[in-house]
Amino acid sequence: MLKVGCHQSIAGGYRAMAQEAKELGATTLSYFSRNPRGGGVRALDLKDMQAFHFLGQEMGLFPIVAHAPYTYNLASDKTHVRSFALSSMKEDLQRMDHIPGNYYNFHPGSHVGQGVEKGIELIVSALNDLLKTDYQTIILLEAMAGKGSEIGRSFEELQSILQGLDHPQRVGVLLDTCHLYDAGYDIKEDLQDVLQDFDKTVGLNKLKAMHINDSKNPFASHKDRHEKLGLGSLGIETFKNIVKHSYLSTLPLILETPQDFEGYKQEIQLLGQLAFS
Ligand code: FE
Ligand code: FE
Ligand code: ZN
């Protein structure tokens, strides 16, 4: 059974989000752990989270994948930017312990001119600080398109981060189809080769979830602009190959395409159909 969902708004609370997932025909979901631009956090409503925990179990909605705001930068050259990201992540993970058994993904960061090596060093040290506390949630590094000075644009960079961790078993990887293609991994023509490369460099068992997006830009453009499935440079066949793949089809697959409710509903249906086509 395929696990497909989309990025949803948490504005109405957790329970409302589960209800919306049901109406979408989704079997997983993602949401921003807090406002992606401001970093403001919702008041903690434990009753709502508990209701979501039980409702989600009943619906078979877990694991879900909460997304950290993309403004966090653990690799910044500014101490206050790094410590804001780190303390926000701690708070996000503390909250997620009320809905155990799920994933929390974040963008590794941008080195803003300090160099990849320095950036990775900063990310590793922040994560090791984070992992000193016993959160239950598995953290996922998102593979990036390589826009600007983004870290995580290659499997080697992701592996360098994982290698530095004191508790690597608590951290996994999330692959985003748009980012992969924009970064120069040809999942359109050679999905199998790309996965073999990932397996050799990182280990396929570290891959815990995927973002399913078409790309507005050509191969290796390093742009990161998501497109609706089938309307971008990746095309429907790519997504068919993913949902038919023996390992990938077992992962939570999250849509982050520029869609409204109806559009997401259709894309969720489409992926289900492609799996059985
Ligand atoms: Fe992301
Ligand atoms: Fe993504
Ligand atoms: Zn993206």
- Per residue in 159-197, pLDDT (tens digit) is 999 999 999 999 999 999 999 999 999 999 999 999 999
Geometric angle at alpha carbon 230, from 227 and 236, rounded to 5°: 130
Residue 10 CA to residue 150 CA, distance in Å, equals 27
Give the distance (Å) from ligand 3 centre to CA of residue 202.
21
Comparing CA positions, the residue from 78, 8, 4, 1 lying closest to residue 260 is 8
Residue 3, CB-side half-sphere exposure with 13 Å CA sphere: 21
Domain hosting 247: range is: 4-275
> What is the pTM for the complete model shown?
0.97
* CATH code, domain carrying 81: 3.20.20.150
Give the distance (Å) from ligand 1 centre to CA of residue 179.
9
Residue 37 has pLDDT above 80, yes or no: no
Q: What is the pLDDT of residue 42?
A: 75
Residue 7 CA to residue 259 CA, distance in Å, equals 10
Q: What is the pLDDT of residue 39?
A: 62
Is residue 204 left, alpha or beta, with left meaning phi > 0 and alpha meaning psi from -120 to 50?
alpha
Average pLDDT value over all residues in the chain: 96
Dihedral, 218, 224, 228, 231 alpha carbons, nearest 10: -10
Give the distance (Å) from ligand 1 centre to CA of residue 68.
8
Give the distance (Å) from ligand 3 centre to CA of residue 178.
7
- Domain total of the chain: 1
* Stretch 106-111: mean pLDDT: 98
201 residue type, one letter = T
